[in-house]
Chains A and B, each alone.
Chain A
């Protein structure tokens, strides 16, 4: 593994996204959403203006959980298949670079662009709010930003995996949309369905662990303040096991969600 080769590919991907203003556009979207949620999020309750960091983060989480997976999937779905379809892959692979280095370079460059726009977009809002936040609240907000980056990286990893498996761009985009529906909409419905059908017997023991099978759910749990909320959120029959809610463990689960699709992609791409 030569790091210089990875860095060259990653650098190109990253600067491509900076130059075509992708990073700027996504950062602006994040800023706009976060600001409006922070100031107008409580409008239904009859007040306008920043209320509390808990309310703000909770609303941001329910937005970001749709948005970031979508952005990450769109960003990464044609990473490899796009080069293959356009016909630039052969030339790239004729260079002194291994396929794994190419794949990693692509991933890291795109992940860098996504992380940069996430941190820039939400970070700006964090700065604006910082005057009204105490240290603990800032810490929570920081945690939200970090977990958003991890969420993006996990879905980007899935997207890059798709881009290795798919035969063409059209199919890759179809798969990306299907993947978004599955993880963001269907997965939780399936769990709830299982809960209802089994009359709640099922939910108790297994359900909290099943939630870890979805990076979007891991992200949600990472950003919850009181454990009791998880229970109500998912309609769990029993309490959520506190051990599962440790952010370091959840962080590890996210890391696995980032690494595993990449490993599968690398295995497939080498063949």
Chain B
């Protein structure tokens, strides 16, 4: 019996048993597509989380007021106001002799307020900060410039707009925001009508981090933010950028030493500040997302198992019928090897068809999921792991071929009449 007639025979058999063939294919499609989708979602979620963090900039260190447990959140999270970090701390850290590896340093306060231009008013968040901010936060300008150190320290009446604030106020007006004067109102009730500030620049689009729109913000000099908008005299954080990853820990030690000295603190446990490091955060998140991936991979394995059991089920249900069919084929002269070739080819065809459909559906559904999640505003990567495809297809083909061949191997042991009478 030649290859061509075997193929013909197999196609005839598959067509004659549409239901069984479709169910077998379905089992494989579910297994393969399930694995691809689950693994793609895991990879997408991981890249989303890590992408958000690295977007903040690498080699970032943040000093926050108040002592906190190493892993736990800083005191401010619990609504406790801690006033121990002040503007002069920035200057001490900024002194190159003290902290040699810091490339950019900025002190920040944050609050919400409204920005008014002409008859338009936009509710937004403001950052009170200094000239070091663009260097630390990787900010690039779309128009104009960021305010400099002198403007920031002197509390000049200038403001830099985030992209979307700029768009909300000026889009369609045909006016250049730079040079316009806006008014900003903070939480402090005393300044009636708001603080007038001249726009010196607009920041280029930054996207969102953990659902926070980084473009719905404005930046004002620190003294304006602290005194005129918030009415405070302390800092909410000092952020700095280190020149290289390997210098992060020595820089943390430097800052720790300087602040302990300045705040006249003897023992580490009494420190009234906390130093956080983004690399630590990334490694914690990587641990979490890796756990997620392992969990998802286990789920994928279950999908594969379910698909495989489906195939096994169908094969077992038909094994008696197929064994009798083999008996008949042997009775009219089929050799064991001819029967085996037929069943092998049949199983291979079914499983490769199922595998191909599984890949197509898996990729399409993963892609649609990625597109859907992106429209929700997340930076979701569409990632297909070739290892997952290979694994899924390999396992399903193996299952299909093994269980497809099972009746053939079983019947090969019988003489034709016993196979023919098999029940």
A and B are partners in one complex rather than unrelated chains: no
Name B residues whose Cβ lies closer than 8 Å to a Cβ of A: none
Name A residues whose Cβ lies closer than 8 Å to a Cβ of B: none
